[in-house]
Amino acid sequence: MRACVRRSRRFSARAISLDRMPVTRHRDPDAFLAAASVVMARSEATAAALIDRVGALKANVPGTVDPAPYLATYACDGACGVAIRHGGSPMLVEESDPEAAAAFAADADGADLPGVVGALAACEAFARVWRQRTGRVHALRFHLRHHVLTEVAPVPPATGAVRLAVDGDHHWLVAAQVAFVAEAGVPDAADRVRAAVPGRLARGRYWIWDDGGPVAFAGWSEAGDECARIAPVYTLPAARRRGYATALVAALARGLLDRGRRKLFLVTDLANPTSNAIYARIGFRPMNDLYHFDFVAPA
């Protein structure tokens, strides 16, 4: 019989044995999603995020994913959880229970894990066990929030027009997305961006706002048959404060809804009031919070 951890109101990593945990690793991404259904049911935004991650994994852009990604689920005595990591990304645990997050930290390979992303209690439980294993501590990078949209609100017009990105935009998109990664502090490598852009461009996953030339872009990805996620969104520094991002995201959202998407999701950094105000103006409503912690050497 597998060792289990009973749920308690106050979780402590010291109260569990790290030798045997009811963690199931998955090789098949679709089987992983099926096993993750209990956690996905807790939040549609969580479900969308996991479907998006699995979609990126299945796209398997050369040089962007690990040969053996970590896909795991946990279920024991009412506690459950999911964990996914690939392509050098942090471990995503989303709305996992703390017991599950601790079990993933005990089970996962790779001392090079850069961090963990998910609900606060799950991240802290994961981090406590990871510190026991590696000596590294967790430091907050982002306080994030999921948002959802079902109807686009009227927004002020902007000069120029929206259009679908085309092959001729390839080099501009790469440069703009690399600039976004650097400015936003997103833990993503420029080489991975360069490798991923052509495939996303070919699938029609970028929209551009053009005003005498491209000034802003927005990407999107599928999150199931009826949902989608919008990311990333970036405006060239010299073109800001002209309403381009608001008009672009509103147009993209309206286009996705018109094509049958029921709900759209995105994640914001709560430290960026400008982007949060833009998305609220368009009609996005806040949902659950996420925390992104980096693993660093102790001071």
Question: How confident is the model at residue 58, as a pLDDT?
Answer: 84
Q: Is the pLDDT of residue 116 over 90?
A: yes
Structure confidence at residue 207 as a pLDDT band (50, 70, 90): very high
Q: Which has more confidence, 12 or 130?
A: 130
Q: Which has more confidence, 187 or 263?
A: 263
211 closest CA partner among 179, 238, 180, 181: 238
Structure confidence at residue 3 as a pLDDT band (50, 70, 90): very low
| DSSP 8-state symbol, 154 | P
Question: How confident is the model at residue 13, as a pLDDT?
Answer: 43
Question: How confident is the model at residue 87, as a pLDDT?
Answer: 77
Question: How confident is the model at residue 62, as a pLDDT?
Answer: 43
Question: How confident is the model at residue 21, as a pLDDT?
Answer: 64
Q: Is the pLDDT of residue 16 over 70?
A: no
Strands (E), 10-114: 23-25, 70-76, 79-85, 91-94
- Reported as a single tens digit per residue, the pLDDT across 72-87 is 999 999 999 999 998 7
Mark residue 259 as left, alpha or beta (left: phi above 0; alpha: psi -120 to 50; beta: remaining): alpha
Question: How confident is the model at residue 1, as a pLDDT?
Answer: 31
Averaged pLDDT of the chain:
90
For the entire predicted model, the pTM comes to 0.89
Question: How confident is the model at residue 109, as a pLDDT?
Answer: 86
Q: Is the pLDDT of residue 11 over 70?
A: no
- Reported as a single tens digit per residue, the pLDDT across 210-232 is 999 999 999 999 998 899 999 99
Question: How confident is the model at residue 200, as a pLDDT?
Answer: 93
Contact 134, 206 (CB under 8 A): no
Q: Which tokens go with 242?
A: 């002209």
| Separation of first and last alpha carbons in the chain | 41
Q: How far is CA 38 from the centre of its chain?
A: 19
Span 152-164, average pLDDT:
98
Q: Which has more confidence, 253 or 17?
A: 253
The arrangement of strands across the sheet holding 263-269 comes to: 23-25, 70-76, 79-85, 91-94, 115-118, 285-296, 137-149, 263-269, 227-235, 214-222, 206-210, 161-164
Distance CA 58, CA 15 (A): 37
Question: How confident is the model at residue 192, as a pLDDT?
Answer: 85
Domain boundaries, the chain: 13-143, 152-282
* 3-class SS of residue 289: strand
Q: Which has more confidence, 167 or 191?
A: 167
Question: How confident is the model at residue 67, as a pLDDT?
Answer: 59
Structure confidence at residue 103 as a pLDDT band (50, 70, 90): very high
Structure confidence at residue 285 as a pLDDT band (50, 70, 90): very high
CATH topology classification for 152-282: Aminopeptidase (3.40.630)
